[in-house]
Amino acid sequence: MDPISHAALGAACAQALIHKYDKRNAWIIGALGGMAPDLDILIHSAANPMLFLLYHRNFTHALSFIPFGGLLVALALLPFKRFRKNWWLTLLAAMIGYATHGLLDACTSYGTMLLWPFSNRRIAWDMIAIVDPFFTFPLVLGLTWTLVFDNRKGVLLGLLLAGLLLQFNNWQRHRALVAMDNYAKKQGWNLNKIRAFPHMVSEARWRVITYFDMNRQLFVADTFTPLFKPSTVYPISYFPVFHHNNLPAKLQHQGFQGNDFNIFNWFTEGYLIAASQQPLVIVDARYLIGYRPLIALWGIQFTPGKLHVDAVSSIVLKGHE
């Protein structure tokens, strides 16, 4: 999610849990703790774009790292007298805020390594877009109510509304998946690995992507799930899946660029399509936006003679302009 949403959730949770003991600092500490895990964006390299994909939403977002992350946030604040006076409340608020970050990110479609170091699986519940003011505004308004009127009910109400939105989105996501499954049955398809992602600032429009044809094809569609009407599927396109054995032979078993492909394949959970062959550009099919043209938000380009792949963005898919 965006930094404002992370700060709002961290602040709201910290204030809700320890408002009785700290009415002045808890929300500030919780907000900072809620944003802190994204400091992993500092782990990057201009020469190796895969480094960012490996470490963003990695160990700093894991459940096992919460005590260490909260402690680091608290230690950064303790030099200031206002946070040092009741240091144990500072530590508690920092851990509460920090704990919210990975769980909220897992509600998006990007994927978060919540179970690190026990698993490298990227957990994504596909419940909410990266930015959704309908989630963030109730948290900000509820927190403001609590701080202005010294009434804990405000922040609790904000958390309740935000939580209800997530549950509503999850139900809408289920409706989108059911609609896609019914559409596939009419086509005689056997689907595999079906995902539905909410459009930005919308709980009724979902971009659906799925494997079919023995995992050789990817089908992309939009599903409209109005509250009091049946769901509707709008087909967009289908593409050949790009597999490891589609790489040039010299990249399949050796070279840094071949390893870069393996990392990108892991990051995208195999939802890969080729945007072009010369040069070879592979894109993340989970993040296709628009219709005509159909645009991939990001991908990788293989350039002969280079050590690593290049990161590319906003790639127009040929044949879909």
What is the tens place of the pLDDT at every residue in 203-242? 899 999 999 887 889 999 999 999 999 999 999 998 999 9
In a domain? residue 68? yes
Q: So what's the pLDDT on residue 145?
A: 97
Q: What is this structure's pTM?
A: 0.93
Which residue numbers in the chain have pLDDT < 70? 252-254, 319-321
d(CA 243, CA 178): 28
The total number of structural domains in the chain stands at 2
Percentage of the chain modeled with pLDDT above 90? 76
| Residue 207 in tokens | 């971009």
Preceding amide of 279 cis, omega within 30: yes
Paired sense of beta strands 272-277 and 232-240, if any:
unpaired
Angle at 256 between CA 255 and CA 261, to 5 degrees: 105
In a domain? residue 205? no
Q: From the CB of residue 98, how many other CB atoms can be counted at a distance below 10 Å? A: 31
Q: So what's the pLDDT on residue 190?
A: 86
| Residue 51 CB contacts under 8 Å (≥ 6 apart), including other chains | 43, 44, 45
Q: So what's the pLDDT on residue 189?
A: 86
> Last residue of a domain, which of 88, 106, 125?
125
Domain that holds residue 256: 244-316
Query: Which residue reads 């005590």 in tokens?
Result: 67
Distances from the Cα of 77 to the Cαs of 28, 67, 100, 242, in angstroms? 10, 16, 19, 48
Contact 5, 159 (CB under 8 A): no
Q: So what's the pLDDT on residue 319?
A: 65
In a domain? residue 141? no
> Last residue of a domain, which of 125, 144, 166?
125
Q: So what's the pLDDT on residue 129?
A: 92
Backbone dihedral angles phi then psi of residue 209, each to the nearest 5 degrees? -135, 140
Q: So what's the pLDDT on residue 254?
A: 64
Q: So what's the pLDDT on residue 200?
A: 83
In a domain? residue 60? yes
For residue 260, the 8-state DSSP code is H
Amino acid at 64: S
Q: So what's the pLDDT on residue 320?
A: 60
> Last residue of a domain, which of 73, 105, 125?
125
